[in-house]
Amino acid sequence: MAEVKSNKELFNVSVSPHIRSEESVSKIMWTVNLTLAPAALFGVYHFGLNALMIILLGIVSAVFFEWAVEKIRKKPITIKDGSAFLTGLLLAMCLPPTLPAWMAIVGSFIAIVVAKHAMGGIGSNIFNPAHIGRAALMVSWPVAMTTWSKMTTSVPDVVSSATPLNILKQQGYDALISTFGSASNMYQAMFLGNRSGSIGETCTVLLVLGGLFLIYKKYINWQVPVVMIGTVGILTWIFGPAGFLTGDPLFHMMAGGLIIGAFFMATDMVTIPITIKGQIIFAFGAGVLTTLIRLKGGYPEGVCYAILLMNCLTPLIDRFCQPKKFGVRG
């Protein structure tokens, strides 16, 4: 009869597969943090102590809020996975260096508590938390959020503390060039980060290097930054200040928060479409909206709102961009 052994040595059982790759959420998050660090450190070097304060407060408060909410929600504490750290860091990097540092805490609160956990926590948020935090600060303290400092490392020719996009919006392209002395000076300053702007957005070269590393690690798809930045470049060139095809794409591609946005925000896997096809549509839409806001809108810069608006469309894009099934013709 039934001789079902009930011996002492019972082993773990679970559904297959029984081996997994070494990849993990925290590995991804910490790698992204690491790739952002050089540009953030450059921001501190470039803008001074208050920038450091904003970054530190942003990160510490984001991690604290994550811990507190998870405690209240009785969820496992996941502050070690680096995702709250990343939100705090990204938020701080998108804030002006002269902002009263405590406002970063408010921004982190909005980002973590409202944008992330009120939506269900990691993986469930619709909007990029860091950008929601920034947008909330923007409507709460519009003056503080648009006041820019002189840089500690300013080149002699750079007299204005306004961001290049501000100068462009208010005084026009010629004034922008004369601020930097010459067009080539301007490109060089924009490439190296020697300009006014948010703490972590100015140094194009470090941000691109960080982004390339993420592409190499396959943590982000190259199509997203290429399409988003390319779309802005092409559209700003076509619709130039002096008419058709008179724009300065190189300037626009390096200006404002486009580089950091395209490499680090428009690639936030939680809030963008899941297929590459969908991501390309997303990036294209974000590029179009950025250009529209920059050229026609009231704000000098539009990356933040462009990405947030495209975040709304993510579920819809996903719906129409499912992968192609094996064994189905056409």
Partner 1 sequence: MMKSFRGGVHPNDRKSYTANKPIETAPLPNKAIIPVRQHIGAPCSPIVAKGDLVKKGQLIATTDAFVSGNVHASISGKVIDVGEYPHPGLGTCLAIVIENDGQDEWAEGIPLKRDWQSLDADSINKIIREAGIVGMGGATFPTHVKMTVPKDKTAEAFILNAAECEPYLTADHRLMLEESARIVTGVKIAMKALGVTKGYVGIEDNKPDAIEVMKKAFEGTGVEVMGLPTKYPQGAEKMLIKVITGKEVPSGGLPMDVGVVVQNVGTAIAISDAVTQGIPLIQRVTTISGKAIKEPKNILVRVGTTFREAIDFCGGFASTPEKILSGGPMMGMAEPHIDLPIIKGVSGILALAEGESNTGKQSPCIRCGRCLNACPMGLNPSMFSLLGEKNLFEEAVEDFSLLDCVECGSCVYACPAKRNIVQYVKYSKAQNAAKKAAKK
Question: What is the CB neighbour count within 10 angstroms for residue 45?
Answer: 15
Distances (CA, A) of 329 to 152, 189, 324, 326: 61, 52, 10, 8
3-state secondary structure of 198: coil
Closest distance of CB 120 from partner 1, Å: 8
Q: Which is nearer to partner 1, 25 or 34 (CB)?
A: 25
Number of H helices, E strands in the chain: 15, 2
Contact predicate 59/220, CB 8 Å: no
Closest distance of CB 212 from partner 1, Å: 19
Closest distance of CB 310 from partner 1, Å: 15
Contacts with 242 (C-beta within 8 Å, 6 or more apart), sequence order: none
Rounded to whole angstroms, the Cα distance separating 274 from 272 reads 6
Q: Which is nearer to partner 1, 124 or 184 (CB)?
A: 124
Site for partner 1, rule CB under 8 A: 1-5, 7, 9-25, 27-28, 78, 81, 121-124, 269-270, 274-276, 322-329
Contacts with 5 (C-beta within 8 Å, 6 or more apart), sequence order: none
Q: Which is nearer to partner 1, 71 or 319 (CB)?
A: 319
Q: Which is nearer to partner 1, 296 or 329 (CB)?
A: 329
Rounded to whole angstroms, the Cα distance separating 186 from 191 reads 8
CB-count exposure of residue 61 (10 Å: 0-12, 13-18, 19+): buried
Q: Which is nearer to partner 1, 236 or 279 (CB)?
A: 279
Q: Which is nearer to partner 1, 100 or 323 (CB)?
A: 323
Closest distance of CB 33 from partner 1, Å: 15
Closest distance of CB 62 from partner 1, Å: 17
Closest distance of CB 232 from partner 1, Å: 24
